[in-house]
């Protein structure tokens, strides 16, 4: 879990060092980090590869990369989201490497989340710089935005892997703009795609249904699988889609996704998802928490409108070739 804060005074003091906003953080950021770490959590901070952050009320880190990285390290920050506003018009390929180098020299391991909105195809160059990179513009809390970003992110699947991840932006689950089934689809596809699972709703007012979605350990386990291969769209028939990807121990994760307006049956054939045609598998439904044993050749399910079914398929030992 990441607690993210936008926390500095503006403009910068004469020293050039970022200073915690005293009215919000009277004990300073290091004390906040100590408290967060005592809860088993990690502290994330936000800055920008420009002269100001996107709020236009806080200083960015452009020209202060080394100084700010050392400050973040001294505060024991664990995660940096690095945005792209007020960037003076220069390429992110020129600006982001400076912060990457500064973080590596800071003396602390800090997760570097690049956010240049996918403008210059960061999947092709950011893996050498950071730990995640935005492949898209900002997400909005509606079905059209979520599905569009899923598609945009999907085409970069081959560039992701352990230590570096495609990021189609944070989760909107629980913010109220989509139905429960749409949010279930959102969380399932983001998990399959190994996207960073950053909760975007207010934890203090989270409804029980939201908590149930976001705390599904079986779905989260797909996202966190040690093989680290991004699942992707493998079959499309109009609004009916099959997404799948390999997991560790010869397993396969599968999402049957209905993007249409009425309930339909969706089928994933073993040939669609990389399994031997004669393989026998146990199919674990990650949302129903139930298992179909010894399934062969294909997996079918009735899927309501804008909903999905998500499975982990475990081949029987004598089916593995």
Catalytic residue list:
83, 138
HSE of 106, CA atoms in CB hemisphere, 13 A:
29
CA–CA separation, 249 and 317 (whole Å): 10
Residue 76 and residue 58 in contact, taking contact as beta carbons nearer than 8 Å: no
Residues contacting 15, CB < 8 A, separation 6+: none
* Cα dihedral 235/189/284/278 (nearest 10): 20
DSSP 3-state of 136: coil
CA–CA separation, 281 and 245 (whole Å): 15
DSSP 3-state of 223: helix
For tokens 């960061």, the residue is: 122
Residue 303 and residue 265 in contact, taking contact as beta carbons nearer than 8 Å: yes
Phi, psi of 157 (to 5 degrees): -55, -40
């Amino acid at each position: 879990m990441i607690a993210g804060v936008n926390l500095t005074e503006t403009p910068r003091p004469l020293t050039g060092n970022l200073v915690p906003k005293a009215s919000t953080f009277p004990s300073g950021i290091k004390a906040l980090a100590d408290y967060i770490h005592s809860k088993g959590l990690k502290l994330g901070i936000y800055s920008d590869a420009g002269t100001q952050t996107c709020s236009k009320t806080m200083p960015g880190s452009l020209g202060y990369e080394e100084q700010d990285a050392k400050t973040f390290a001294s505060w024991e920050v664990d995660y940096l989201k690095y945005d792209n506003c007020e960037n003076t018009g220069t390429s992110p390929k020129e600006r982001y490497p400076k912060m990457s180098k500064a973080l590596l020299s800071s003396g602390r391991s800090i997760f570097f989340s690049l956010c240049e909105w996918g403008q210059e195809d960061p999947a092709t160059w950011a893996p050498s710089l950071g730990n995640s990179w935005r492949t898209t513009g900002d997400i909005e809390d509606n079905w059209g935005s979520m599905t569009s970003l899923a598609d945009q992110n999907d085409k970069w699947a081959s560039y992701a892997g352990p230590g570096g991840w495609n990021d189609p932006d944070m989760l909107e689950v629980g913010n109220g703009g989509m139905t429960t089934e749409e949010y279930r689809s959102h969380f399932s596809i983001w998990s399959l795609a190994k996207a960073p699972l950053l909760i975007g709703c207010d934890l203090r007012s989270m409804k029980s249904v939201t908590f149930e979605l976001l705390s599904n350990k079986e779905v989260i386990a797909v996202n966190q699988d040690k093989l680290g291969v991004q699942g992707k769209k493998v079959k499309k028939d109009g609004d009916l889609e099959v997404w799948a990807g390999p997991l560790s121990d010869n397993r396969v994760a599968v999402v049957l996704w209905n993007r249409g307006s009425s309930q339909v049956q969706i089928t994933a054939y073993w040939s669609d998802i990389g399994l031997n045609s004669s393989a026998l598998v146990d199919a674990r439904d990650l949302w129903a928490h139930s298992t179909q044993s010894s399934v062969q050749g294909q997996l079918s399910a009735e899927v309501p409108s804008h909903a999905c079914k998500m499975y982990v398929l475990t081949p029987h030992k004598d089916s593995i070739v």
